[in-house]
Amino acid sequence: MPAEARVTPIWKKQKLFVALFLLAIGGWFFYDGKIGYPKKNERFNAYKEYEAKQQLTEWPDYAKSRGWSEVPEHKELTQQDIVGQFAFGGLAALLGVITLAYWATQKGRVVKTDADAVHTPSGRRVPFSAITGVGKKKWDAKGLATVRYEIEGRKGEFELDDYKYDRDPTHAILAEIEERLTPRA
């Protein structure tokens, strides 16, 4: 009986959130490297000037006039600290872009069956007669099954995931695969 399992909305939202979160973290690191850390250094150096001139009683008024906290920065941030912000920002942004690209390639995927075959998440049509086995080691605990097949001497496999894809149709697809596989065994 034909079944169709689409990627679940929760999976799509979750992966999109992770991608956007990583991009936002990357942006935050870039902001700190470009604007935040230099401003902290400006405040630190200004405080050190007031301290050197022994005019610390005037510091609160000066800090207030600049919109700064009266509490001075505890240390000067080095060029290495600033470069580190850009490095972490680049890494977070790269991971965010990779996650976003993965999400974009996965969000529209479908696993479905017709009268004679299974259509894998990548869109490949695998006849039931080409399926050589099903790995269900993680099925009970995680809802993951690996379907192995061989077409024209080339082996392949795809995964059925009842979290990523609609649960009931995914279970129906696996049941149909097993039903068609059992008579051959």
Same domain, yes or no, for 118 and 68?
no
* pTM for this prediction: 0.84
Same domain, yes or no, for 80 and 145?
no
Same domain, yes or no, for 94 and 121?
no
Give the chain's domain count.
Answer: 2
Given the structure tokens 């679940």, which residue do they identify?
A: 8
**Residues whose CB is less than 8 angstroms from the CB of residue 22 and which lie 6 or more positions away in sequence, other chains included:** 92, 93, 95, 96, 99
Residue 8: phi and psi, rounded to 5, are -75, 150
Same domain, yes or no, for 69 and 142?
no
Mean pLDDT, the chain cut into blocks of 10 residues (185 residues total): 94 98 98 97 95 92 94 95 98 98 97 96 95 96 96 96 97 95 68
Residue 49: Cβ within 10 Å count: 12
pLDDT reported for residue 183: 67
Q: 162-166 contacts: CB < 8 A, separation 24 or more?
A: 163/8, 163/11, 164/7, 164/8, 164/11, 164/106, 165/5, 165/6, 165/7, 165/8, 165/109, 165/111, 165/121, 166/5, 166/6, 166/8
Same domain, yes or no, for 11 and 99?
yes
The tokens for 131 are 């399926």
Same domain, yes or no, for 12 and 98?
yes
Same domain, yes or no, for 27 and 47?
yes
In a domain, 2, yes or no: no
- Tell me the residue type at 8: T
Same domain, yes or no, for 85 and 131?
no
Same domain, yes or no, for 83 and 116?
no
pLDDT reported for residue 181: 86
pLDDT reported for residue 1: 75
Same domain, yes or no, for 96 and 132?
no
pLDDT reported for residue 80: 98
pLDDT reported for residue 184: 62
The tokens for 109 are 């995927």
Same domain, yes or no, for 81 and 117?
no
Provide the domain limits for residue 48: 7-106
Name the burial class of residue 101, with classes exposed (0-12), middle (13-18) and buried (19+) by CB atoms within 10 angstroms of its CB: exposed
